[in-house]
Amino acid sequence: MKNIYRIFLGLICFIMIAETAAVFGISAAASYEKEANLDFGSQNIFMICLDNRQVIFEKNSAERARPASLTKIINAMVFLDNCKDLSKKVTVKKEVLDLLEGTKASVAHLQEGEILTLKDCLYYMLLISGGDAALTIADYVSGGDIPKYVDMMNEKAREAGCRDTHFSNPTGLDEDDQYTTCEDMALLAELAFGYKEILEASSSLRYTVPATNLREANTITNSAEIMRSDVEEYYTHLVRAGKTGSTSLSGRCLLTLSEIDGKEFITVALNAPYDKAEDEEYINRAFSDTKNMLEWTDRNLKYSGRLNTGKLLEENGAGNTDLPENIRLLIPDGFKTKDISLKAGAATGKPPEIKVLYSGSEISRVIPSKETGIKKSIYGTVYAMRYILITAVAAVIILIVFLSGKASALQKSEQRGEEIE
């Protein structure tokens, strides 16, 4: 019995140590364009691992770009912050539909006087980028004051930690003061996918909208073709949820939530070519860029060994960096942990940037978690809960083993007529 007890205890300790390493990740940035040799068609690219805050790919990720219908992700968050009962019904207003007149916005073809549920509006907005649904939601929440709703969206962006993002409408239509960056959009996506309703909608391939007072039931299909196995050129099984966007000025845009070997990633692609070049077959580069990043990462990256942050930085004269004592990075096969070194960048009133070097050459950068503006990743809570659950399970198993041993000893003692203390 003692041997069984030791085996269980050892196993639980091993799992707890492994899980602790996963929970206490860092804010990191690493970009592997040289290693991957991918030819990005999107003008702005960003890919981050949520488990350890490591940036895998970036291209012009801090430059301003137009978000198009990716805007509807933050619209959905403000909506859900203010509406808990999605079974409530809303009536579509003529004055709301008139706002889209002549804009060429994507629509769900809502009709004046049509009555549908708030959930149906949410799915119309997220799956097919219905601008009429987005405005109906904004009008409903704000009591008819859509500019007020846009203010709520901007406040949400500030709370998320966005540094260079501003919205002037809830739909994503192009305006001079409607802009974001890939990094900011990744923050918003991470926060948005933490909403159960947004994750469920964005991961749905199809949704059947029940009949309303003005039309029959109809089925809508998610415009994120990267999730659809029937679209072979873009499909990858790694994507769990997605949101598309496009206008002639913003180009093709896509954000996704993906999973590779249990690790979660956010990708953002902005300003991919809107139309095909002359005499060329059209390819949606936002889709193909995202697919290429994810599949390259799946094939080529692995976790490094643990890096002693304090020791490595001390060797390069770094001060306090607010980084955890030990970190792990995703690195290409063939890279060796012993050849990785860290160097602190110049302090600029914010936590100092940490440069990651491999064999003396800079390959990436690490940013302390304070820098991200997000308190925890989507799955940070899940990981923390998993850690607590493992601890609880360990306690239960130890108790069961202990009581089983006691019961066995008691049974033997009764047979011998002895007393057990």
Q: Is residue 1 part of a domain?
A: no
How far CA 375 is from CA of 49, 190, 195, 381, 412, in Å, comes to 15, 11, 15, 10, 55
Long-range contacts of 116-119 (CB under 8 A, 24+ apart): 116/89, 116/90, 116/92, 116/209, 116/212, 117/86, 117/87, 117/88, 117/89, 117/90, 117/210, 118/79, 118/83, 118/85, 118/86, 118/87, 118/88, 118/89, 118/90, 119/86, 119/87, 119/197
Residues with Cβ within 8 Å of 230's Cβ and at least 6 positions away in sequence, in order, are none
Amino acid (one-letter) located at 154:
N
Q: Is residue 406 part of a domain?
A: no
Q: Is residue 361 part of a domain?
A: no
Instruction: Please report which helix (H) or strand (E) contains residue 131, including its range.
Output: helix 131-142
Query: What pLDDT band is residue 264 in, cutting at 50, 70 and 90?
Result: very high
Q: Quick one: average pLDDT of 320-334? A: 73
pLDDT in tens, 287-309: 999 999 999 999 999 888 888 77
Q: Does the model's pTM come out above 0.85? A: no
In total, the chain counts a number of residues equal to: 421
Neighbours of 409 (CB within 10 A): 13
Task: Say what the pLDDT of residue 382 is.
Answer: 36
Q: Is residue 118 part of a domain?
A: yes
Q: Where are the extended beta strands (E) located within 196-306?
A: 206-209, 218-221, 239-247, 251-260, 263-272, 301-303
CATH of the domain at 210: 3.40.710.10
Q: Is residue 32 part of a domain?
A: no
Report how many domains make up the chain.
1
Q: Do 179 and 164 contact (CB within 8 A), yes or no?
A: yes
pLDDT in tens, 364-393: 766 654 433 333 333 333 333 444 445 565
Reading the block at residue 212, the tokens are: 């309303």
Q: Is residue 402 part of a domain?
A: no
Running DSSP on this structure, what letter comes out for residue 277? P
Rounded to 5°, angle at Cα 298 from 295 and 304 = 145
pLDDT in tens, 110-137: 999 999 999 999 999 999 999 999 999 9
Using the predicted structure, report yes or no on whether residue 9 has a pLDDT greater than 70: no
Q: Is residue 25 part of a domain?
A: no
Q: Do 341 and 365 contact (CB within 8 A), yes or no?
A: no
Residue range(s) defining the domain that contains residue 226:
44-301
Q: Quick one: average pLDDT of 62-78? A: 98
Q: Is residue 15 part of a domain?
A: no
Task: Say what the pLDDT of residue 120 is.
Answer: 98
